[in-house]
Amino acid sequence: MSAKRYNVEHETRYAYTAPVSQSWQLARLTPRALPWQTLIAHELQIEPKADERRDERDSFGNMVTHFGLHGAHRVLSVRMNCRVEVGPRPELPSGAEITWEAVRDAVRREPQLGDLEPASMSEPTPLVPLSDAACAYAAASFARGRQWYSAVFDLMQRIHADFEFEPGATTVSTSVDEVLYQRSGVCQDFAHLMLACLRGMGLPARYVSGYLLTDPPPGEERLMGVDASHAWVAAYSPLHGWVEFDPTNDQLADQRYITLTWGADFADVVPLRGVIFGGGEQRMDVEVSVIPD
C-alpha cells in the first residue's frame, strides 16, 4: 500500500484567572521518526513567545521541548502543526509461533533483548502497578501453552467487548482497579488496563500516544477517540518485535495511526505539563484535528 499523508493540528490553551508570573513547561508534541512514519514538517508555536527554549530527547527517544516564560501572562497557547507520512507497518512474520510463556521466559533470561527496553517495559509503574484484579482478568486469555499473538489479540478483543467507552467517567488519576470495577473509561484507561494485564503475566508492553484518523468510510461507524489524542499499546515478542494493539477500537494499528510518543505509562507521554507561579484558577482547552492530505 502507498504511504498516506496527514496534516495534524494540536492546540492546548490555558486561561488563568490571575496573572502567571513564571511558567516552565515540557511539551512532547513532535511525532516520532519511525521506519513506517516520516515527519515532513513540524512547527511548535508558543504564545506568549517563550523566553527560553530547547529541544532534547528523553530516555524513550521522544523529542521534548523545554520552554519558559518569565513575563506576566493570563493565557498560554501551545499549537503544534505538522505534516506526517505514514506507510504500512511491518507485516507479522509468517509462521512465527511462540507461546506467551516463552516470551516471558526469554525476557527474564535475556533482559538485554531490544537494548533492555522489553525488560524495562515488563515492570510496574506508579500508574500501572501490579494488580491482582488485572491478572485475574488476563488469565482467561492466557491459557497454558497459548501462542503469544493469539493471547494478546484475545485480550484486546475482550477489553473492547467488556468495557464501555465513556468520556468523563474517569480522570487521569483513575486506577486500573477502579476501571475494572466500573467497566468504563476512555482510551487511556483501556491502554493502562491492557498494560497491567500483560505486565502481570510477565510480558513487555508500552504505552503509545498519538492520533487516529477517525473519519469513517461511507457506511461504517465512526471510531471512538474523536478529536483528541489517542492511546494504544505495543506488546513485544522476540519473534514479532513490537506489535501495536488498540483495545479501544479492537484493531491493530494501521496507516490511520500517527505515533507521537511512547513510554511506560501516560505520565511519560503527557503532551504538555509544567509548573507555574501565580495564575489562580485555570481552564484548559484542547483541540485536535487530523486532516488527510
Question: In this predicted model, what pLDDT tens digit does every residue of 266-282 receive, in sequence order?
Answer: 999 999 999 999 989 99
Rg (Cα) of the chain, in Å, rounded? 20
Question: C-alpha cell of 45?
Answer: 508555536
Q: Given this model, what pLDDT does residue 46 score?
A: 98
Class of domain 100-253: alpha beta
Sequence ranges of the chain with CATH classification 3.10.620.30: 100-253
Sequence ranges of the chain with CATH classification 2.60.40.2250: 4-87+270-292
Record the pTM.
0.93
* Residue pLDDT, tens place only, 189-209: 999 999 999 999 999 999 999
Residues 6+ apart with CB under 8 A from 217: none
Question: CA-CA distance, 207 to 211, in Å (whole number)?
Answer: 13
Q: How would you classify the pairing of strands 164-165 and 241-246?
A: unpaired
Residues 6+ apart with CB under 8 A from 18: 74, 278, 279, 280
Which segments of the chain have a pLDDT < 70?
A: 215-217, 220-227
Fold for the domain defined by 4-87+270-292: Immunoglobulin-like (2.60.40)
Q: Given this model, what pLDDT does residue 162 score?
A: 98
| Among 187, 197, 209, 223, residue whose Cα is nearest residue 267 | 209
Q: Given this model, what pLDDT does residue 217 score?
A: 62
Exposure letters 173-203 (e unless 16+ CB within 10 A, then b): ebbbeebbeeebbbbbbbbbbbbbbbbbbeb
Q: Given this model, what pLDDT does residue 225 score?
A: 42
Q: Ramachandran region of residue 48, left (φ > 0), alpha (ψ -120 to 50) or beta?
A: beta
Question: CA-CA distance, 60 to 224, in Å (whole number)?
Answer: 27
